[in-house]
């Protein structure tokens, strides 16, 4: 166990954990940021997707000791930024207007992946959406609406 200082959603957070602990469990069990989900633990489902310096990353395969000074953004951070962050706002509102969610458990990861995509590629093609989001499983198979919501968000960003 050792003290590690992280930058989480714009705030410094010091945690006393084993550096090998996956970031996922530090977020969920130590910092109580439970919007980031545990789905598989082997980077096969994307439910744990967060941003490290803006890049979508699987928190279940990221040792907390390796994060260093990278800025961590979770779904809570993305949701809190919708007044100032156009991309986060467009994605969240598109997700709601298209009624994408069913059980909702994977959607934090889907949304973080979508925000990451639209920051890099504001007007993605279907192929670009496939590349960015195919690693995010949805057992309810809301994929039709996920795709539609990404396009809807892109349209709104363009306007």
Q: Are 102 and 142 in contact (CB under 8 A)?
A: yes
Among 8, 39, 62, 87, binds other proteins (CB under 8 A): 39
Question: Is position 29 an interface residue for other proteins (rule: CB under 8 A)?
Answer: yes
Greatest distance between any 2 Cα atoms in the chain? 50
Of the pair 52, 108, the CB lying nearest other proteins is at 108
Alpha carbon 150 to chain centroid, angstroms: 14
Among 117, 133, 153, 154, binds other proteins (CB under 8 A): 133
Among 71, 86, 128, 137, binds other proteins (CB under 8 A): 137
Phi and psi at 18, nearest 5°, equal -65, 130
Among 54, 97, 120, 123, binds other proteins (CB under 8 A): 97
d(CA 41, CA 143): 22
Question: Is position 147 an interface residue for other proteins (rule: CB under 8 A)?
Answer: yes
126-143 residues labelled b (16+ CB within 10 A) or e (exposed): eeebeebbeebbbeeebb
Q: In the chain, helix, strand, coil percent, each to 5?
A: 45, 15, 40
Question: Is position 63 an interface residue for other proteins (rule: CB under 8 A)?
Answer: no
Region binding other proteins by CB under 8 A among candidate stretches 32-40, 51-59, 65-73, 116-124: 32-40
Q: Binding residues for other proteins, per CB under 8 A?
A: 1, 18, 21-22, 25, 28-30, 32-42, 44-45, 47, 74-76, 78-79, 92, 95-108, 111, 129-130, 133-134, 136-147, 152
């Amino acid at each position: 166990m050792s003290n590690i200082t992280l930058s989480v959603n714009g705030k410094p957070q010091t945690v006393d954990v084993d550096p090998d602990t996956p970031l996922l469990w530090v977020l969920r069990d130590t910092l109580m940021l439970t919007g980031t989900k545990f789905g598989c633990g082997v980077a096969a489902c994307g439910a744990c997707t967060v941003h490290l310096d803006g890049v979508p990353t699987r928190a279940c395969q990221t040792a907390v000791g390796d994060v260093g000074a990278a800025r961590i953004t979770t779904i809570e951070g993305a949701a809190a930024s919708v007044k100032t962050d156009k991309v986060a706002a467009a994605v969240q509102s598109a997700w709601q207007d298209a009624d994408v969610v069913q059980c909702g458990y994977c959607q934090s990861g889907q949304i973080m992946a979508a925000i990451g995509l639209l920051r890099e590629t504001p007007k993605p093609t279907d192929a670009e959406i496939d590349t960015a989001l195919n690693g995010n499983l949805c057992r309810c198979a809301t994929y039709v609406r996920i795709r539609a919501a990404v396009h809807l968000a892109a349209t709104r960003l363009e306007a």
